[in-house]
Structure 1
């Protein structure tokens, strides 16, 4: 059986590896609140009709919509007005305008919508244990849809990835005889705009790429021009029109800062040999089908390997980054072989213009799927690579599947393109929510990889797709009742702060020396910290307390110039690194 056509048996349903699902419209609303570097989400009714989280005067942000005001100003022209007058909260009538017994958040209370008595911190109509205004120090989750017990955000159990409510409500049509689908999201931040590109079906009833945008990760607008790109009817990728084919998949939207252009990479299936290869299209503006033109006259830009090579069956799942220092484009992809046991691996190609590529991994992949018994023993594919300038390493998330072909997301890292990839020992970093298939919106059949985005030096967003079956239903054989959503998870780097010593120092041999600091993380006590010397090796593995404080006191450092390296690692695979130079004299 070819590696791209692996089928799975689960709950008495045969399921293609590329999920073909029926997407029903799910009302997805939630609130994104920034507290320091941590994002919190809650029901977006708190934004659309509820309390304004933009308490600071002047009222400058039209996305922050207030509940009420007593001076009648609307400086940002968003309709409602902010409670600017300090005397607002001194009026008893303003504290609980909807009479539900809870004080508005505008005055320090817990009611995020003081115009609706059904929305407050106690509201839990669907009985899932999550309230519409559930924002507390310990519970940073929220109920996104109080009519559906499966739609809610995650509870942060440790220092890893925290799944939020689904981010996009996207309409789609059936792909001919195939069920509805919205899958394979790629999230991109362009200046102050978030863009998500995804595979779906539109009025053309075939697999194409759609696009939606947001300024706040809360409310999303689908492009009126969707689909923004699809195969050329006379091109190599015509195979996508076949019902049940692999189709056009894994979009990767890349903004080329050198040319000030956009490149959309993807893989598609040729009619001639039914093999997936990688193509691309370019545009000056990403929002319309008419703006895009196929690269290289519509031919594949990365092709499958020659017979007997590790990727002679298929190449797919492109991920592209640009190196400013070397002025080189790097494309990472997954591939598999034909003969013998199917082995998935990660490949690499380079380019000087982003459209003409040269394969660098001809004979061997950079990483392969896992050994028997591991979480990614059946496949490891669809890499999404990001350079982390803080630790000066490349991070790659990827999609793996175990012996039951249940998909999850793993993390690998490498120092430079062309280096072998090192899998994170704590993989997978995100998997299906577990339990029965109706437990949560991303429970059924695992999760499908998207990509990584850094919003600042320490905050990461990871897009992904999740699936579920409505409560008390069993999956239909054709998967017509399986619902898929696009979502994302948040994780913050466990960053070092207030390190002491904070400059290079000289200490006499035998003198007690203390190295101490703070780990800035929601759950610092779950973060692994190591302190190492280039001369003496591992010095300590201190456990931070609940406030993040850790220390090491020693008087046994050997004579010489020590480079002390401190490394932090959270359960989601994110790291921080700091160095101190200490000279020990005789």
Structure 2
């Protein structure tokens, strides 16, 4: 289904460090999830979603110990942040609360105040089935383009009262506001092969390093249970997801990620750091954010 991309060495040894961000502020409710992380001037900056429709902000020197902004939340009535920085401005892309469109808010400060620029991309292609769920944006300085990978359509995992995305689309923009969708979307979807990628590829978070696009994604098996994989692309459009891409599997019964592994936030800084949210439905805080690392 997918053309083979060029072969690039992938980091193969990952170590889970456990959960690093849990609910401690009243506005968060019982969950923190869907992190977006930037590394700037010796500091990691994270934007994350709560169990409702608000976005928080936190900082860290090491990626493990986080200090939450005392005036959280920094933006409300939106879901699933993806933040990029360009020319002194933070661009916070978000999913509309009903998950039918993607919007943009901007600020010169990472904690805001954010100015809402409105909705910039709506469901319009048949395969999207009226749903656009989670943006992943990279500003490519070589091409001077904002590049967006987004989740769309839906599946229903067994035994849970919610849906998850089914496939990945791609779009580009010169200004972050006016977007052109790729004509041959979706660019990634389930393999229908009986593996952990059977039903869907639900999110794709992309990090460009040395002119290679590294795609961290979570895929769903026949029951809708999701795990995390890693693949590469030479153009950000042509990917070759396969069973051997798996880098993070379900944790043990008592671990925070025993049920599902969800959206990632990759950063390369003398080795890879990968934040992700995991779910353990038996916990009082069923979704929290964890960290996995590699030094390869």
TM-score when normalising by structure 2: 0.85
Cα 1:210–1:159 shift into 2, 3 Å: same
Instruction: Select 1:161's aligned residue among 10, 14, 17.
Output: 14
| Superposition deviation, residue 198 in structure 1 | 1.0
Q: 1:483 to 1:269 in 2, by over 3 A?
A: closer
373 and 283 in structure 1: CA distance in 2 versus 1, 3 angstrom threshold: same
1:249–1:373 CA distance, 2 compared to 1 (3 A): same
For residues 410 and 159 of structure 1, the distance between their equivalents in structure 2, rounded to whole angstroms, comes to 11
Among 259, 262, 266, which residue is 1:448 paired with?
Answer: 262
Report the equivalent of 1:42. Answer: none
Q: Distance in 2 between matches of 1:408 and 1:488?
A: 14
Q: Which has the larger radius of gyration?
A: 1
Match of residue 152 from structure 2:
335
- Contact 1:174-1:180 at 8 Å conserved across structures: no
Cα deviation, 1:29-67, whole Å, max 9, x if unaligned, reads xxxxxxxxxxxxxxxxxxxxxxxxxxxxxxxxxxxxxxx
Q: CA deviation at 1:164?
A: 0.7
RMSD: 2.4
- Give me the whole-angstrom Cα distance separating, in 1, the residues matched to 2:285 and 2:74: 25
Partners of 1:169 and 1:482 lie apart in 2 by 8
Quick one: distance in 1 between partners of 2:154 and 2:49? 25
Q: Which residue of 2 aligns with 1:277?
A: 101
Show the 5 A alignment for 1:203-214: 206-214=52-60
Q: Quick check: 1:317 aligned with 2:155?
A: no
Which residue, out of 247, 254, 257, partners 2:84? Answer: 254
Q: Give the superposition deviation at 1:229.
A: 0.5
Specify which structure has the bigger relative contact order, considering alpha-carbon pairs within 8 angstroms and separated by 6 or more residues.
Answer: 2
User: Larger strand proportion, structure 1 or 2?
Assistant: 2
Q: Is the 8 A contact 1:461 1:491 kept in 2?
A: yes
| Structure 1 residue 169, shift from structure 2 partner | 4.0
3-state DSSP of counterpart to 2:134: strand
> Once the two structures are superposed, what CA deviation does each residue of 1:346-405 show, in whole Å capped at 9, x if it has no partner?
211111112221212x3431121121412122221221001120xx32111112111122
Q: Gaps (5+ residues) in structure 2?
A: 1-10, 156-163
Does structure 1 residue 410 correspond to structure 2 residue 229? yes
Contact persistence 2:228–2:262 (CA under 8 A): yes
Native 8 Å contact 2:168 2:188 kept in 1: yes
For residues 75-474 of structure 1, what are the structure 2 equivalents within 5 Å?
Answer: 159-173=12-26, 180-200=30-50, 206-231=52-77, 248-256=78-86, 259-270=87-98, 275-288=99-112, 291-295=113-117, 298=118, 300-306=119-125, 309-336=126-153, 344-360=166-182, 362-389=183-210, 392-418=211-237, 420-434=238-252, 437-438=253-254, 440-443=255-258, 445-456=259-270, 459-468=271-280
CA contact (8 A) 1:395 1:412 kept: yes
Q: Distance in 1 between matches of 2:154 and 2:289?
A: 30
Q: Distance in 1 between matches of 2:22 and 2:166?
A: 33
CA contact (8 A) 1:187 1:450 kept: no
Distance 1:159 1:454 in 2: 14
- Cα displacement (A) at 1:336: 2.1
